[in-house]
Chains A and B, each alone.
Chain A
Amino acid sequence: MTDGDDPAFAAEGLTVRLGERTVLHDLELRASRGELLALTGPNGSGKTTLLRAALGLVPALRGRVRLLGDATGELPIRERARRVAWMPQDESAFENVPLYDYVLFGRYAHLPPFAAEGPADRAAAEAALREVGLWEQRQRGIREVSGGERQRVLLARAVAQETPILLLDEPTAHLDIGHQLDLLERVRRHCRERGRCAIAALHDLNLAARYADRVAVLSRGRLVADGPPAAVLSEALLREVWGVVADLRRDPASGLPYLLPRLPARDRGPRPETPRPRRVHVVGGGGAAAPLLRALVEDGYRVTAGALPLFDTDLEVAEELGLPTATEVPFAPLGAEARAEHRALLDEADAIVVAPFAVGPSNLANLEDLVGRAARIPVFLVEPTPISSRDFTRGSASALRDRLVADGARSVADLAALSAALAPRADPDR
């Protein structure tokens, strides 16, 4: 190679034709160990085909994909499977196999012919399941788990395969925002800690920008941009490749680019009657508020959060973002001091956002403090799942939630709906 050492993954002049259509044109792309490369591009740009060509599932018309130096087509299937693992976009199991066995399937390429799995294989499966947090549930059936859990099982199987290269095809498809972040977080950690090379086809540019070390943009089968997210993602690129007009922002905490697409029709829409709230308070806990905090900060609001126990994920994020918070020691009921702090923040807020946090006896007061406020200022309940699934107070939380709604609080499904509800105009009023 030109730079002295072999990259883990290298597409060299790769041209793939499917039927009459040339899906990839003369593609050159490299990725190295320890790197998470996001492959993005509009539908039909060739992301999935590139991954399939690397796996040897579609033949190359010209050129090749090298895996640790050897072309895919020249590697025996077994050896291929020891170099590259695949997390397919859609996989359905025919049999209802326990998760543990399902992850053990990833060890097949390491087994001698007709041999049973050994201690090393079982250890790898256990480690992979622990890595995705499903070890305790290993005896559940693959057809019984949720979509998010299934994606994590697929990741665990790819991890158990112990390959230097991981190919992920839309790993966050069908997942809600929390699971999307969680999964990519795990992939990035795996990459860095184990020195793996991961290539993920991702639709969501903001996820790509947040997690990838490098972003490669495909358009109609050609590579049109390749580099760090900050260097690659631009309003011009979005317009050219996706035909979308968007605003490019910077995450105040990380400096990473963040794209907010605009719809022309909305852009010209009438100004809403309600004034845009400037100061937003987020009630959360256990990580439920973290994505909201980031997004709201990026949207230009002054954000406060509380009341959160020390060491809470949401608190860490809030502090990372430099937000004012109300805090309490962990696992204790909220004390008078913390509640007073919290009420003060609530009093100053122009709008209140309630994150989908798990409500227990210790943080029920967070909801109690909201009573009566919904009549005065906008209160938004972010509810991807019904409160009943997060209510560990024997119904007190659910009753409070219904009371808030009765007072005028609005329930929104996700972050996007929240953004729209907070600011019907896409262009923020700074």
Chain B
Amino acid sequence: MGAPAGPSPAVPARLLRRFGRRGRWAILLLGGTALLAASAFVGPVAIPPETVAAVLLHEVSGGALAPQPCGPLPLASAVCQSRIEIVWDVRLPALLLAAIAGAALGVSGATLQGVFRNPLADPYLLGLSSGAALGVAALFILKVGVAEANIVLPFLAFAGALGTGAIVLAAARRASRSVETLLLTGVAISNLLSAVMLVLVLSNPIGSLQVTFWLLGGLGGATWARDGIALGGVLVAGGILSLYGRELNLLQLGPEVAQSLGLQAARVRTRLLFLASLATAMAVAFTGVIGFVGLVSPHIVRRLLGGDYRVVLPASAFVGGVFLLVANDLALLALPTSELPVGIVTAFAGAPFFLALLYRRRRAVPDGGMP
């Protein structure tokens, strides 16, 4: 159910294994960068691909390469400047934000699945995202200072996610050990928070439009500065989380067995949930609520690389980033001129996946593999 993948790694893992540790990371980083660059060719404004490529070269090399990126148009012309700005200052930050947010959601999903021993755990389904969203919506709507403030947003999102995380953890402790109970708790909490948000929205119709769009999840507001803040938060959360692979490996045996093996199970669970909330909040603060990335990514990783959390955590971050980037590209390809919220695409991809998992689990459960 949770992880039907065998320990014998699939083809991608074997291929990756041929290279050394450094080689593997180099390949993944190169692949990710290539995807990032390739995604810069798609956007609402049609820019010729050769211009996009030339602009990327021009900017990366600091002007040394491709000194005339716009072909016949002079570099200083307004049109050429706008091309450079669109590719380098609008598209790339958005793409980088997609990668960062996807990575945050991926690593957060992997952590939650391990902590709760639940293959269907995900920051969105457990309500952490809604919690973070409520924090941000409160800012939008109550106008504490100026809305959309880069630094305040993550704080409030984190507060919201953390509060929700505490409730979910408490509920999970009290509730029976079934997978569904935890999910239903998450759904209930999520709905409650949405109701609170709705009350806030109705109390201030002017803020509601912005909140609605932002709730669907979008990468529109990305800037290098926001990317920097999000990246910082995600690096802190993800970096610490990736140190906890061994602990998660023990936790998936259940808290009691983990404790008998010498793990401070309760403390580590709390710590992991804290960090997963931080990662989720970083994603939600700047992109809104994007579902299912955290659910899907760890499952893809397990299929390819097995269930060792020392691998699953960083790999889920990578897969999550790629997933969201691709989803964003698909959104732009489907409706090029209207910026379709990327959360809609991930829902299209993730919801059937979720149902498939749930259905497979029901069929395969007689062994009682779940805690």
In the bound complex, what is the Cα–Cα distance between A161 and B261 (angstroms)?
A: 8
Asked if B261 contacts A141 (CB within 8 A), the reply is no
Q: Does A66 contact B (CB under 8 A)?
A: no
Known contacts A77-B264, A80-B262, A108-B263; is A97 also within 8 Å of B7 by CB? yes
30 A-B contact pairs sorted by A residue (CB < 8 Å):
A55-B259, A57-B259, A80-B260, A81-B262, A82-B262, A88-B256, A88-B257, A88-B260, A91-B253, A91-B254, A91-B257, A92-B254, A92-B369, A94-B3, A94-B114, A94-B307, A95-B249, A96-B4, A101-B308, A106-B261, A108-B261, A108-B262, A108-B263, A114-B246, A140-B7, A141-B6, A141-B7, A143-B3, A143-B4, A143-B369
Asked if B2 contacts A95 (CB within 8 A), the reply is yes
Which residue of chain B has the shortest Cβ distance to A117 in the bound complex? Answer: B246
Q: Does A56 contact B (CB under 8 A)?
A: yes
Give B117 Cβ to nearest chain A Cβ, in Å: 4
Q: Which 10 A-B pairs have the closest CB atoms?
A: A95-B307, A109-B262, A81-B262, A94-B252, A86-B260, A141-B7, A98-B7, A94-B117, A78-B262, A95-B3
Q: Does A105 contact B (CB under 8 A)?
A: yes
Q: Does B250 contact A (CB under 8 A)?
A: yes
B contact residues, range: 35 or more
Known contacts A77-B264, A108-B262; is A96 also within 8 Å of B5 by CB? yes
A contact residues, range: 20 to 34
Q: Does B371 contact A (CB under 8 A)?
A: yes
Q: Which residues of B contact A81 (CB under 8 A)?
A: 259-262
Q: Does A93 contact B (CB under 8 A)?
A: yes
Asked if B308 contacts A95 (CB within 8 A), the reply is yes
Q: Which residues of A contact B249 (CB under 8 A)?
A: 95, 97, 101, 105
Asked if B246 contacts A108 (CB within 8 A), the reply is yes
In the bound complex, what is the Cα–Cα distance between A97 and B254 (angstroms)?
A: 14
Which residue of chain B has the shortest Cβ distance to A94 in the bound complex? Answer: B252
Known contacts A101-B308, A143-B369; is A55 also within 8 Å of B260 by CB? yes
A 48-69 to B, binary, CB cutoff 8 A, 1 in contact else 0: 0000000111000000000000
Known: A95-B2, A96-B307, A106-B261. 11 other contacts (CB 8 A): A57-B260, A88-B256, A88-B260, A92-B254, A94-B114, A94-B117, A94-B369, A95-B252, A97-B7, A108-B262, A141-B7
Give B92 Cβ to nearest chain A Cβ, in Å: 35
Q: Which residues of A contact B257 (CB under 8 A)?
A: 86, 88, 91
Q: Does B306 contact A (CB under 8 A)?
A: yes
Asked if A96 contacts B253 (CB within 8 A), the reply is no
Q: Which residues of A contact B368 (CB under 8 A)?
A: 92
Asked if A77 contacts B254 (CB within 8 A), the reply is no
Asked if B302 contacts A95 (CB within 8 A), the reply is yes
B371 touches which of A92, A108, A144 (Cβ 8 Å): A92
Give A407 Cβ to nearest chain B Cβ, in Å: 38
B256 touches which of A57, A96, A101, A114 (Cβ 8 Å): A57
Chain A, 82-118, CB within 8 A of any chain B CB: 82, 84-86, 88, 91-98, 101, 105-106, 108-109, 111, 114
Q: Does A139 contact B (CB under 8 A)?
A: yes
Q: Which residues of A contact B119 (CB under 8 A)?
A: 94
Q: Which residues of A contact B4 (CB under 8 A)?
A: 96, 143
Asked if B306 contacts A93 (CB within 8 A), the reply is no
Which residue of chain B has the shortest Cβ distance to A91 in the bound complex? Answer: B257
Asked if B3 contacts A56 (CB within 8 A), the reply is no
Give A301 Cβ to nearest chain B Cβ, in Å: 40
B 251-281 to A, binary, CB cutoff 8 A, 1 in contact else 0: 0111011011111100000000000000000
Q: Which residues of A contact B367 (CB under 8 A)?
A: 92
Q: Which residues of B contact A139 (CB under 8 A)?
A: 7-8
Binding site for A on B (CB under 8 A): 2-8, 114, 117, 119, 243, 246, 249-250, 252-254, 256-257, 259-264, 302, 306-309, 367-371
Which residue of chain B has the shortest Cβ distance to A95 in the bound complex? Answer: B307
In the bound complex, what is the Cα–Cα distance between A82 and B262 (angstroms)?
A: 8
Q: Which residues of A contact B369 (CB under 8 A)?
A: 92-94, 143
In the bound complex, what is the Cα–Cα distance between A141 and B259 (angstroms)?
A: 23
Most B CB contacts (10 A, CB to CB) among A91, A95, A105 go to A95
Q: Which residues of A contact B117 (CB under 8 A)?
A: 94
In the bound complex, what is the Cα–Cα distance between A111 and B246 (angstroms)?
A: 11
Which residue of chain B has the shortest Cβ distance to A100 in the bound complex? Answer: B7
In the bound complex, what is the Cα–Cα distance between A83 and B2 (angstroms)?
A: 32
Asked if A94 contacts B371 (CB within 8 A), the reply is yes
Q: Which residues of A contact B306 (CB under 8 A)?
A: 95-98
Q: Which residues of A contact B256 (CB under 8 A)?
A: 55, 57, 88
Give A410 Cβ to nearest chain B Cβ, in Å: 31
Asked if B252 contacts A109 (CB within 8 A), the reply is no
Give B371 Cβ to nearest chain A Cβ, in Å: 7
Q: Which residues of A contact B259 (CB under 8 A)?
A: 55-57, 77, 81
Give B179 Cβ to nearest chain A Cβ, in Å: 11
Give B69 Cβ to nearest chain A Cβ, in Å: 47
Asked if A108 contacts B7 (CB within 8 A), the reply is no
Asked if B307 contacts A97 (CB within 8 A), the reply is yes
In the bound complex, what is the Cα–Cα distance between A108 and B261 (angstroms)?
A: 6
A 266-290 to B, binary, CB cutoff 8 A, 1 in contact else 0: 0000000000000000000000000
Q: Which residues of B contact A84 (CB under 8 A)?
A: 260
In the bound complex, what is the Cα–Cα distance between A342 and B98 (angstroms)?
A: 78
In the bound complex, what is the Cα–Cα distance between A140 and B6 (angstroms)?
A: 8
Which residue of chain A has the shortest Cβ distance to B367 in the bound complex? Answer: A92
Which residue of chain A has the shortest Cβ distance to B249 in the bound complex? Answer: A105
Known contacts A92-B370, A105-B250; is A85 also within 8 Å of B260 by CB? yes
In the bound complex, what is the Cα–Cα distance between A342 and B190 (angstroms)?
A: 75
In the bound complex, what is the Cα–Cα distance between A384 and B261 (angstroms)?
A: 35
Asked if A93 contacts B263 (CB within 8 A), the reply is no
Asked if A114 contacts B243 (CB within 8 A), the reply is yes
Q: Which residues of A contact B307 (CB under 8 A)?
A: 94-97
Give B47 Cβ to nearest chain A Cβ, in Å: 45
Asked if A108 contacts B370 (CB within 8 A), the reply is no
In the bound complex, what is the Cα–Cα distance between A386 and B235 (angstroms)?
A: 56
Asked if B253 contacts A93 (CB within 8 A), the reply is yes
Most B CB contacts (10 A, CB to CB) among A55, A77, A85, A111 go to A77
Asked if B5 contacts A108 (CB within 8 A), the reply is no
Give A65 Cβ to nearest chain B Cβ, in Å: 14
Give A335 Cβ to nearest chain B Cβ, in Å: 45
Give A110 Cβ to nearest chain B Cβ, in Å: 8
A77 touches which of B8, B114, B262, B302 (Cβ 8 Å): B262
Chain A, 125-172, CB within 8 A of any chain B CB: 139-141, 143-144, 161
Q: Which residues of B contact A77 (CB under 8 A)?
A: 259, 262-264
In the bound complex, what is the Cα–Cα distance between A378 and B261 (angstroms)?
A: 52
Q: Which residues of A contact B6 (CB under 8 A)?
A: 96, 141, 144
Most A CB contacts (10 A, CB to CB) among B252, B253, B262, B307 go to B262
Which residue of chain B has the shortest Cβ distance to A110 in the bound complex? Answer: B262
Q: Which residues of B contact A161 (CB under 8 A)?
A: 261
Q: Which residues of A contact B264 (CB under 8 A)?
A: 77-78
In the bound complex, what is the Cα–Cα distance between A161 and B257 (angstroms)?
A: 13
Give A130 Cβ to nearest chain B Cβ, in Å: 19
Give A45 Cβ to nearest chain B Cβ, in Å: 21
